[in-house]
Amino acid sequence: MDIIIREMNKFDCLRCKDLTLQMGYHDNLADFDKRFSLINKLPHHHLVVAESLVDKTVVAWMHLEIRYLLVSSFKVEISALMVDEKMRGLGIGKKFLAYAENWTKNCGFKDIFLYSKLMREDAHNFYIKCGYLNLKDEKMFTKNLEKNVMQDLKAIYESKLDSKIENIKIQ
């Protein structure tokens, strides 16, 4: 399948939201566009789509994020990766991983990782096929505090993060 991988823009949001629905994520998708506007400004995040060269349809999207951790070296997380269910098995996921790995190296980091739900066995097989190791199975804990943090986050990020990703070269 001939595709180009390019940065996501606001006109892609509706389509990316549809692809996300295919994965069974129904919660909070109403705020997808707002979250895109915020995340897209953050220099340590990178959002991309795969666009078909045949008809310009967006067939997949991916979210990469530099994780600044005190307990280990800085690394890149693949926070989301989803391919249209009609386009799976055509090599798009593999091209995305190659892109993600190049982005990681270009940012100056040597490790890339992701979390995947236990039930997503197909995805696990895909990652193993592409050379990824399953290091551990973890539990996730959460608590709903009934506060919308979007505005707080916007203020924090806009005041602190005005540097460009190209300038970040810390391991």
**Could you tell me the smallest distance in angstroms from the CB atom of residue 38 to ligand COA?**
22
Phi (first) and psi of residue 135, to 5 degrees = -80, -40
In the complex with ligand COA, which residue's Cβ is closer, 39 or 83?
A: 83
In the complex with ligand COA, which residue's Cβ is closer, 44 or 93?
A: 93
Planar angle of CA 171, 116, 62, nearest 5 degrees: 65
DSSP string, 16-66: HHHHHHHTT--TTGGGHHHHHHHHTT-TTEEEEEEEETTT--EEEEEEEEE
CA–CA dist 91, 49 (Å, integer)? 14
In the complex with ligand COA, which residue's Cβ is closer, 95 or 154?
A: 95
DSSP state at residue 86: G
User: Interface with ligand COA by CB under 6 A: which residues?
Assistant: 23, 81-83, 88-94, 114, 116, 120, 122-123, 125-126, 129-130
In the complex with ligand COA, which residue's Cβ is closer, 5 or 90?
A: 90
**Could you tell me the smallest distance in angstroms from the CB atom of residue 89 to ligand COA?**
5
**Could you tell me the smallest distance in angstroms from the CB atom of residue 99 to ligand COA?**
12
Residue nearest to ligand COA (CB): 93
**Could you tell me the smallest distance in angstroms from the CB atom of residue 11 to ligand COA?**
21
Extract the tokens encoding 48.
């991309």
